[in-house]
Amino acid sequence: MAMRNKASRFVLLITCLMYLIFYVDRVNISTAAPFMQKDLGLTATQLGLAFSAFAYPYAFFQIAGGWLGDRLGPRVTLALCAALVGLATIWTGFVGGLAALFLSRLALGIGEGPAFPTATRALANWLRPDQRAFAQGITHAFSRAGNALTPPLIALIVVSFSWRDSFIFLGVAALIWAAVWFTYFRDDPRTHSQITPEELTGLPPATVVATRKSVPWGPLLKRIMPVTLTDFCYGWILWLYLNWLPSFFLHEFNLNIKKSALFAAGVFLAGVVGDTVGGFLSDRILKKTGDVNKARVSVIVVGFLGSFCFMLPIVFFHDLNIVATCLSLAFFFVELIVAPIWAIPMDIAPEFSGSASGFMNFGFGMAGIISPVVFGYAIDLTGRWDVPFIGSLAFLLIGAMLAFTCKPGERFVDVRSEPTAPRPTPA
């Protein structure tokens, strides 16, 4: 399963670093939030609105950006994305109120929206089918490593410098990544100077890699819709963790920023393991059984149900160690979902994998629009920081049921490319 050759291994590494940097730039606001809230004079509802600002363009550009990645290619698209992410993150360090903060988060969402669907297209070009879930697992493990790294890193920068400096430093990292990616990556691995014949074995044909065909929007959307709905349920839970976990530990258990950051980092580290294990299990099942449905759907269902079982005790216990342990295990299980669900668009429509994964992750983006505002309002209304976690349990059960409708083994067929049967000749 490992990438043993230099070029494919390094492409995977660079992609992993993008996931890490983008997620740090995405979630750093959750650790800096208490300081920003005080400095900018924001209520919890206003803070939730600022959180959700990222998700509006992020949701839209899942589809538009996936199409852009299919049309322009991952090399140019991801370089532009990283440049915008870096500039938007730096801008956040200079905001003076809610309006500017909202706009900077909008810009960040525009930059990150096309990134993961386009990265999926890049991996589809460079990897064999039995490597895809592993690659999705390890790339998203880096994103969760970013989640785990962010609370202590931002806390350290905030204490040593200021919350504004934390955004400036991290924005520069995204700009550096853009330069590295554009210099090294090639859309077609066959044109890379360091590629080997062994690495090219089993890759999609050059005609698929280089396709610039128009996307069959209606049929593709209809085919991917069950995956989109399943991803919405996953996204509802993930946005809960990303946006509110540090504040949950800070307020619900009266911890200082350093301790709340450490507890949040511990939970996110469990997600790193979950992402990696989910990808390994899914590809292992595929190699053993040859059944794509079983390889993807079974892992997703186990992830939803396992997360439900370990999030449920939060309703009954208020002990810090018990809650932190349960949240970690719940996050481990929900992260099992990531690798197989991101592999599904590559399984269903490899020729349009950027657009297909964009359709899928639109559900994640919509969850990001709705959930932060709902959570912030619920906290202002009740004064309890555990309410969003309790109220999210139903989505875990719904997601498990929806997973059975995804059917990744049924390949999408572009009917425009199918040869038309000849008409019978009259006798």
Question: Domain map of the chain by residue range?
Answer: 10-187+219-407
Q: Tell me the per-residue pLDDT of 345-388, one tens digit each, with 9 for 90 and over.
A: 888 887 777 788 888 888 888 887 788 778 777 778 877 777 77
302-345 tens-digit pLDDT = 999 999 999 888 778 778 888 889 989 999 999 999 889 988 98
pLDDT at 421 over 50: no
* pLDDT over 90 (residue 89): yes
Question: Residue 187: its pLDDT value, please?
Answer: 83
Task: Please report the pLDDT score of residue 316 as a whole number.
Answer: 81
Most confident stretch, 255-264, 297-306, 313-322, 409-418: 297-306
Phi-psi region of 35 (alpha: psi -120 to 50; beta: other; left: phi over 0): alpha
Assess whether pLDDT exceeds 50 at residue 161: yes
User: What is the structure's pLDDT at 107?
Assistant: 93
Q: pLDDT digits over 194-232, tens only? A: 777 776 666 655 544 555 567 787 888 889 999 999 999
pLDDT above 90 for 261: no
Give the mean pLDDT of the chain: 82
pLDDT in tens, 108-136: 999 998 888 888 888 878 877 777 778 87
- Give the pLDDT band of residue 417 (cuts 50, 70, 90): low
Q: Which of 64-68, 71-75, 279-283, 396-400 has the highest mean pLDDT?
A: 396-400
What global pTM score does this model have? Answer: 0.71
Looking at the chain, the whole-number percentage of residues with pLDDT higher than 70 is 91
Looking at residue 207, its pLDDT comes to: 44
pLDDT, greater one: 356 or 107: 107
Instruction: Please tell me the CATH code under which domain 10-187+219-407 is placed.
Output: 1.20.1250.20
Residue 291 confidence (pLDDT) above 50: yes
pLDDT bucket at 14, cuts 50 / 70 / 90? very high
The predicted pLDDT at position 54 comes to: 83
